[in-house]
Chain A
Amino acid sequence: MELDIIEEKDLIMGKANQEVFSQTLQDLAATDKDIIVVTSDSRGSGKLVPFGQKYPDQIVEIGIAEQNLVGVSAGLASAGKKTFAVSPACFLTARALEQIKNDVAYSDNPVKLVGISAGVSYGALGTTHHSLHDFAVLRAINNMIIVAPADNFETEQALRKAIEINKPIYLRFGKKPMPNLGESNQCFELGKGRVLESGEGIAIIAAGETVYPAWKAAKALEENYDVKASVVSMHTIKPLDTDLLEELATNGKPIITVEEHMVNGGLGEACASHLFQKGFKNPFQIIGIPDEYTVTGSQVEIFNHYGISPQGILKVAVELLKI
């Protein structure tokens, strides 16, 4: 089907979220000497080279040793340092999972775990470099907040809140420039979904870099079918904003979830589990990476392959709406 999809040029593009993270952290470190960044030979990919040059006493290099990265970070945090453990999400949340579970979450050491180049940001590098499991494994750990900001605004806010709340938290960033979404809603609260668009036809709930294609799909749905969709950036995967979820589901409209994560154990299953247990029977579809050998390609090619795209989301919306 030939449909009108809003073009990239129609939006003002911002920076990559992980770039905004590092810039904001550098700004905050200027007046807060307790901010410490811990890296595993990852300052380049984390855009933290300028940070290290400007504040050499506030960066601790561990080398390629993620278990030690997290353990050392737990010790620093325990001693009162506002500690950011920055490492590619794929290694951070798999190689060092036991340290995350025990030294950070269980011991309640307020480390800010920062998974960079998350999801399939390193698309063509293959499965070793993909983090499609991180929501699932971290959701199963008590005392862990999971946040995947959609745009530069959410990124900056999430970082500031992470320092403020002083609890174990996982921040997940991609490396693709993101437009600033939801000009009309510049509110950010951990644990509260950010409603970017309100509509009664269908709800699209997304997180991280998939919010942008979800938003585009909603625009196309309105343009081509005159159906207005709600679009939510569910930046906090855990604790999930179940109030908003129930509110979106109340009129029985279809719900689509979108995530840069395997469908097993991610945002979509979290939403489905809650709604089903509360008795909702809305038409429901999870869009994510299926449980299969992941196709090779760039991030956008992988997205397109699995329908994590405006076209793919629109197609599912049309099917659920039976229009």
Chain B
Amino acid sequence: MNNKELELNSINLRKNILKYIYKAKAGHTGGSLSCTDILNVLYNKVLNVDPDNFSDPDRDRYIQSKGHSVEALYVTLANRGFFPESDLETLCQYQSHYIGHPTKKVNGVEQNTGALGHGLSISVGEAIAAKLDKKSYRVYTLLGDGELPEGSNWEAFLSAAHYKLDNLYAILDYNQQQITGSTQEVMNTDSISDKLEAFGWAIKEVDGHNLLQLEDALNSGPVENGKPNFIIAHTIKGKGVSYMERVVKWHHGVPNPEQYEQAQKELNESAALI
């Protein structure tokens, strides 16, 4: 996939996120749109994973700690060939495996997540295992900024640095909003870069909607040898749809028919400009 194709794919993923949330009448819209570019780059430029042999022990690991943005994960996995996109017609329906948070019942999902503050610890365990086994796979986890106050994250931050896990990449989807309002108002985690640096992590800040920056940060090896990588991806909640961007109510808002049509139209227009 060349750069243009990758950019178009981001638009395509956003369109699909909205399509299935609209159909299911449920979903975490804002956060899914915020991390779409990160997932697009991970699955199309970074992760060594094979949809036909997902259990390969040497695969790279991706654990989505912010499990509620599962719609972004589903459409990306479908796009990458892990399952037919038509499976998503059952999103959130009775007995569907495609529920509101990731489960391993879905091909390509590494761990069952959804309760916040869990993905990083599991990732630390996977990264320690890679070091013990002298394997070269890398471990990626996506954190939401709203989940940073969970104490378990800080336990995991300590241990990742303690074990010098430079094969671990924690990506922060730093959209600075959560269900109640801005992260700064709800529970201030400002100076996150300083905090993580003090915890012994190597920091890299990128524009979370710039695909080249993302690819560079996630693919070019450890930021610093012997330190876990903290990639702060500056993002916009609701990215790509004008009336959703930075508007808190779209955290898990579902568009009505008119809003849905407008969103698809805007995304089509964005695609035409690429």
Question: Using Cβ atoms and an 8 Å threshold, which residues of chain B touch A71?
Answer: 118, 120-122, 124-125, 152, 156
Q: A75-B121, A99-B121, A103-B121 are in contact. Are A68 and B129 (CB under 8 A)?
A: no
Question: Using Cβ atoms and an 8 Å threshold, which residues of chain A touch B124?
Answer: 68, 71-72, 75
- Residues 257-310 (chain A) with a chain B CB within 8 angstroms: none
Give A103 to B110 CA distance when docked, in angstroms. Answer: 11
Give A72 to B118 CA distance when docked, in angstroms. Answer: 9
User: Closest CB of chain B to A96's CB: distance in Å?
Assistant: 9
Question: Using Cβ atoms and an 8 Å threshold, which residues of chain B touch A98?
Answer: 115, 118
* Contact bitstring B187-198, A, C-beta under 8 A = 1, else 0: 000000000000
Judge whether A102 and B125 touch: CB under 8 Å: no
* Contact bitstring A18-38, B, C-beta under 8 A = 1, else 0: 000000000000000000100
Give A107 to B57 CA distance when docked, in angstroms. Answer: 17
Judge whether A68 and B155 touch: CB under 8 Å: yes
Interchain CB contact (< 8 A) of B152 among A68, A81, A83:
A68
Give A109 to B126 CA distance when docked, in angstroms. Answer: 12
| Residue among B117, B125, B126 with max Cβ neighbours from chain A (10 Å) | B125
Is B181 in the interface zone, CB < 8 Å from A?
A: no
Question: Using Cβ atoms and an 8 Å threshold, which residues of chain B touch A63?
Answer: 155, 158-159, 162
Total cross-chain contacts (CB, 8 A)? 102
Judge whether A99 and B132 touch: CB under 8 Å: no
Judge whether B129 and A75 touch: CB under 8 Å: yes
Dominant SS among interface residues on chain B: helix
Give A36 to B128 CA distance when docked, in angstroms. Answer: 11
Judge whether B129 and A81 touch: CB under 8 Å: yes
Give A57 to B159 CA distance when docked, in angstroms. Answer: 16
* Contact bitstring B100-116, A, C-beta under 8 A = 1, else 0: 00011000001111110
Select from chain B the residue with minimum beta-carbon distance to A68: B155
Interchain CB contact (< 8 A) of B122 among A81, A103, A108:
A103
- Residues 54-84 (chain A) with a chain B CB within 8 angstroms: 57, 60, 62-63, 65, 67-68, 70-81, 83
Judge whether A72 and B114 touch: CB under 8 Å: no
Select from chain B the residue with minimum beta-carbon distance to A101: B115
User: Closest CB of chain B to A104's CB: distance in Å?
Assistant: 10
Select from chain B the residue with minimum beta-carbon distance to A60: B128
Judge whether A72 and B57 touch: CB under 8 Å: no
Judge whether B159 and A72 touch: CB under 8 Å: yes
User: Closest CB of chain A to B8's CB: distance in Å?
Assistant: 34
User: Closest CB of chain A to B240's CB: distance in Å?
Assistant: 31
Dominant SS among interface residues on chain A: helix
Judge whether B112 and A107 touch: CB under 8 Å: yes
Q: A65-B155, A103-B111 are in contact. Are A80 and B57 (CB under 8 A)?
A: yes
Question: Using Cβ atoms and an 8 Å threshold, which residues of chain B touch A60?
Answer: 128, 163
Give A302 to B128 CA distance when docked, in angstroms. Answer: 42
Question: Using Cβ atoms and an 8 Å threshold, which residues of chain A touch B117?
Answer: 67
Judge whether B123 and A75 touch: CB under 8 Å: yes
Is A106 in the interface zone, CB < 8 Å from B?
A: yes
Q: A71-B152, A75-B128 are in contact. Are A103 and B118 (CB under 8 A)?
A: yes
Give A102 to B117 CA distance when docked, in angstroms. Answer: 11
Select from chain B the residue with minimum beta-carbon distance to A96: B152
Question: Using Cβ atoms and an 8 Å threshold, which residues of chain B touch A102?
Answer: 112-115, 118
Judge whether B104 and A108 touch: CB under 8 Å: yes
- Residues 174-219 (chain B) with a chain A CB within 8 angstroms: none
Judge whether B104 and A107 touch: CB under 8 Å: yes
Select from chain A the residue with minimum beta-carbon distance to B102: A107
| Residue among B57, B120, B159, B163 with max Cβ neighbours from chain A (10 Å) | B159
Question: Using Cβ atoms and an 8 Å threshold, which residues of chain A touch B156?
Answer: 68, 71-72
Judge whether B125 and A75 touch: CB under 8 Å: yes
Question: Using Cβ atoms and an 8 Å threshold, which residues of chain A touch B118?
Answer: 71, 98-99, 102-103
Select from chain B the residue with minimum beta-carbon distance to A73: B125
Question: Using Cβ atoms and an 8 Å threshold, which residues of chain B touch A65?
Answer: 155, 158-159
- Residues 133-168 (chain B) with a chain A CB within 8 angstroms: 133, 151-152, 155-156, 158-159, 162-163
* Contact bitstring A87-105, B, C-beta under 8 A = 1, else 0: 0000000000011001100
Judge whether B104 and A76 touch: CB under 8 Å: no
Judge whether A78 and B125 touch: CB under 8 Å: yes
Select from chain B the residue with minimum beta-carbon distance to A111: B125
* Contact bitstring A217-259, B, C-beta under 8 A = 1, else 0: 0000000000000000000000000000000000000000000
Question: Using Cβ atoms and an 8 Å threshold, which residues of chain A touch B113?
Answer: 102
| Residue among B110, B123, B152 with max Cβ neighbours from chain A (10 Å) | B152
Judge whether B121 and A79 touch: CB under 8 Å: no
Is B47 in the interface zone, CB < 8 Å from A?
A: no
Select from chain A the residue with minimum beta-carbon distance to B163: A60
Question: Using Cβ atoms and an 8 Å threshold, which residues of chain A touch B125?
Answer: 71-79, 83
Select from chain A the residue with minimum beta-carbon distance to B123: A75
A-B contact pairs, 26 of them (CB 8 A): A57-B132, A60-B163, A67-B121, A71-B124, A71-B125, A72-B124, A72-B156, A73-B125, A74-B122, A75-B123, A75-B124, A75-B126, A76-B128, A76-B129, A77-B125, A78-B122, A79-B125, A79-B126, A80-B57, A81-B132, A99-B118, A102-B112, A102-B118, A107-B104, A107-B112, A109-B122
Chain B interface (Cβ < 8 Å from any Cβ of A): 57, 103-104, 110-115, 117-118, 120-130, 132-133, 151-152, 155-156, 158-159, 162-163
6 tightest A-B contacts by CB?
A: A75-B125, A71-B121, A79-B129, A68-B155, A65-B155, A72-B125
Known contacts A75-B121, A75-B126; 11 additional CB pairs below 8 A are A63-B162, A67-B117, A67-B152, A67-B155, A68-B152, A72-B125, A78-B111, A80-B57, A81-B132, A102-B115, A106-B103
